[in-house]
């Protein structure tokens, strides 16, 4: 399904991945949303892949879905070449069940975020991409809301604004310095933040918070989620994704205190993270997962969504990306001049 009005590109590294993400194409077709499918390999056609990624915005796209399995470099390499938000689908693998895929995509370095779904959750990826691409369009948003089972409809002119909500699920279990840097980054980029602490709040109050985000025309909602002190039930990440069509970004966090245990206990904690957290990710719906403790990437991903609709924010992201690239080039010049000694 291809259209010049397409705002969503779906890229796979090979044709074998196309049947595996069939649900993504089907959902967009069900919602009446055009998309552009591509086959672009990060390994076999890296130059073409990078060139096409760098031209996504000028070609009219607002978001890119990239699916990959195993080493799964396509989503991250795509994200490194564009300022648009990239949604990564970890494809199921025969040997490791897709855990290799999700780890390859989700744990991106600071500065290059990829919004990652659960393993094989192509329908969630398509829904998330639609939420991002059509934030300003009533008709599509109401179709998405109906699909989610949200009874209230949006009416009148939708005025989206550079506003992002930040939900704090366990304030005692995340890094306050990194958290504040995340919020400050958003604000410096020109984004208003609305912070919400759910520790002592009720379901009704949380619903009121989401209604306030929608009223303000927010473009995203970041959920700071403690991996080892998670909140089960109504106020888990799945609660937020099922009650609004605003894109939700989940930032899983751990603290030094969480890891200040003996080696056996630490191993058990990591087993829980891999064996439990990645298994329940699909239950949380269409959310964009960030890497563990990637506070900056959560802020960047939210800013990228805002940047789709507000060019000044996109320019701020571009300046930031130029700065971090400059740091790498300076270090490279230093190592060529002084050798590896200064880096030990």
Q: Which residues are annotated as a binding site for substrate?
A: 14, 17, 44
Annotated binding site: 14, 17, 44
283 — alpha (psi -120 to 50), left (phi > 0) or beta?
A: alpha
H or E stretch including 106? helix 99-106
- The DSSP line for 264-309 is HHHHHHHHHIIIIIHHHGGGG-SEEEPPTT-HHHHHHHHHHHHHHH
Token representation of residue 208: 């009121």
Where does residue 97 rank: exposed (0-12), middle (13-18), buried (19+ CB within 10 A)? middle
- Cα distance from N-terminal residue to C-terminal residue, the chain: 53
Handedness of CA 54, 57, 60, 62 (dihedral sign): positive
Nearest to 281 by CA among 234, 222, 241: 241
């Amino acid at each position: 399904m291809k259209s010049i009005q397409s705002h969503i590109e779906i890229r796979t590294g090979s044709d074998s991945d196309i049947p595996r993400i069939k649900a993504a194409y089907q959902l967009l077709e069900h919602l009446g949303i055009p998309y552009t499918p591509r086959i672009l390999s990060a390994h076999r056609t890296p130059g073409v892949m990078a060139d096409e990624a760098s031209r996504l915005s000028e070609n009219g796209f607002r978001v890119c879905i990239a699916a990959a399995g195993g080493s799964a470099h396509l989503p991250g390499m795509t994200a490194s070449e564009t300022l648009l938000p990239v949604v990564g689908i970890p494809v199921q693998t025969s040997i490791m069940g897709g855990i290799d895929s999700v780890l390859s995509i989700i744990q991106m370095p600071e500065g290059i975020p990829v919004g990652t779904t659960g393993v094989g959750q192509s329908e969630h990826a398509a829904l998330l991409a639609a939420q991002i691409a059509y934030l300003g369009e009533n008709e599509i948003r109401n179709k998405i809301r109906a699909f989610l089972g949200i009874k209230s409809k949006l009416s009148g002119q939708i005025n989206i604004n550079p506003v992002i909500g930040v939900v704090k699920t366990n304030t005692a279990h995340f890094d306050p310095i990194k958290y504040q840097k995340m919020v400050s980054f958003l604000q410096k980029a020109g984004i208003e933040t609305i912070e919400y602490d759910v520790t002592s709040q009720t379901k009704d109050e949380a619903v009121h918070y989401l209604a306030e985000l929608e009223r303000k025309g927010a473009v995203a909602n970041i959920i700071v989620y403690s991996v080892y002190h998670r909140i089960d039930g109504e106020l888990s990440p799945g609660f937020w994704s099922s009650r609004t069509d605003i894109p939700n970004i989940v930032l899983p966090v751990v603290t030094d205190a969480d890891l200040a245990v003996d080696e056996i206990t630490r191993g058990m904690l990591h087993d829980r993270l891999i064996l439990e957290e990645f298994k329940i990710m699909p239950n949380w719906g269409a959310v964009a997962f960030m890497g563990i403790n990637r506070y900056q990437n959560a802020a960047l991903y939210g800013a990228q969504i805002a940047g789709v609709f507000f060019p000044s924010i996109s320019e701020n992201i571009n300046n930031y990306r130029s700065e971090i690239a400059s740091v790498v080039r300076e270090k490279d010049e230093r190592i060529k001049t002084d050798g590896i000694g200064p880096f030990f």
